[in-house]
Amino acid sequence: MRIYKVGGAVRDRLLGIPVTDIDRVVVGATTEEMLAQGFRPVGADFPVFLHPKTGEEYALARTERKSGRGYGGFTFHASPEVTLEEDLIRRDLTINAMAEDDQQNLTDPYHGQRDLEARLLRHVSPAFAEDPLRVLRVARFAARYAELGFTVAPETLELMRQLSESGELEALTAERSWKEISRALMENQPQVFIEVLRACGALKVLMPEIDALFGVPQPEAHHPEIDTGAHTLSVLEQAAQHKQPLTVRWACLLHDLGKGLTPEEEWPRHIAHELKGLKLIKAVNERFKAPRDCQELALLVGEYHTHGHRALELKPSILLELLQSFDVYRRPQRFEEFIAACEMDARGRKGLEQRSYPQADYLRGAAHAARSVAVQPLLEKGFKGPELGEAIKRERLKALKAYKEAASA
């Protein structure tokens, strides 16, 4: 049997960037031979094994054939006769379809190295169109390698467009889509992921709520970039530049969805877009079964981001409601993430990326003031049950009034 490194490990070594996970393909072996050598089988669908010592993945060379809709609609064929070239041709991109042996001898039948040099993400064969997940994968690789100058080859973008129009994208499961979306959002240029999806028509299918933001104007005084879609991409870009976690990036992406619902005669104003957007945010959250913390933060940021921007003008009673809505007493971290998302929203505006955001420290100070109210003295005064709750609220309000006065003095 012959063993080769394939996929990302070869690609990233040639690009001179650190290799994180190593995928290997085994040619000329049977399942029985693998088991006899101590490899442990994983996965019911594919002939994939874990190395007995390193735990790394080894897959038997295989061919595949489309036999129905979606990802389940594939038949695989693995046997010792399947050649390396046959295994490589089923892969998505030419730069992912190279293999190398122990001595770093490269097998590159589909010219991945040429495309690496040309900085092109190009599909290997027309079979690309058999798995709609590849649309998301290509957009994700575009987001990852944009800083190295990579773009999607025009003919690949055309295939992605055909896939998007064919209705095949709808066959993707929430789990497979979310895995790609969440990884793409954590890349250095996540806005490129959205741009590529939009360019091939996939955004309209997967997240029509975001697609609808392009072409929607906002008031130039607050938004020199004017376009709501362009603004959303800038906010996402800021979130990546500031190394924000996935929760914040997800909330940034969805924060302005309500602006897509504004009747044209109200443009460029967007009255109550925060509340109007909530049902859209909920729909996107559920469509991809986003993790609970991502869902929650997106909804809260959607509802309250303009509160964040107006923090210094908020009456103490509204400030208190805001803090209560976030349950800042038990969930201080979530409030920090809200503040971060608001700041990214403020910076995601053309020419205003570097401006300061004093609202952030003001909100932190307010949270601190409210959290500093001690419960023990109220218990000692004999407050119980709902009355205790009311008394705590009164004390917090007092603390916030004092905080606001001191801050404006």
Give the span between the Cα atoms of 395 and 230, in whole angstroms.
43
Among positions 16-75, residues that touch Mg ion (CB under 5 A) are 21, 23
Quote the least distance from Cβ 21 to ligand ATP, whole Å. 5
With binding defined as CB under 5 A, does residue 8 bind Mg ion? Answer: yes
CB nearer ligand ATP, residue 6 or residue 314: 6
Give the span between the Cα atoms of 182 and 195, in whole angstroms.
16
Q: Which does 91 bind (CB under 5 to 8 A by kind): Mg ion, ligand ATP, none?
A: ligand ATP
Contact mark string toward ligand ATP, 134..163, x via CB under 6 A: x--x--------------------------
CB nearer Mg ion, residue 91 or residue 396: 91
Contact mark string toward Mg ion, 221..260, x via CB under 5 A: ----------------------------------------
With binding defined as CB under 6 A, does residue 108 bind ligand ATP? Answer: no
Among positions 9-48, residues that touch ligand ATP (CB under 6 A) are 21, 23
Residue from 29, 47, 58, 92 that binds ligand ATP (CB under 6 A)? 92
With binding defined as CB under 6 A, does residue 123 bind ligand ATP? Answer: no
Residue from 5, 24, 91, 255 that binds ligand ATP (CB under 6 A)? 91
Quote the least distance from Cβ 12 to Mg ion, whole Å. 9
CB nearer ligand ATP, residue 19 or residue 272: 19
CA distances from 179 to 140, 172, 182, 290 (A): 11, 11, 5, 9
Contact mark string toward ligand ATP, 60..89, x via CB under 6 A: ------------------------------
With binding defined as CB under 5 A, does residue 201 bind Mg ion? Answer: no
CA 190 from chain centre, in angstroms, equals: 7
CA 123 from chain centre, in angstroms, equals: 23
CB nearer Mg ion, residue 21 or residue 327: 21
Q: Which does 198 bind (CB under 5 to 8 A by kind): Mg ion, ligand ATP, none?
A: none
Among positions 213-252, residues that touch ligand ATP (CB under 6 A) are none
With binding defined as CB under 6 A, does residue 259 bind ligand ATP? Answer: no
With binding defined as CB under 6 A, does residue 122 bind ligand ATP? Answer: no
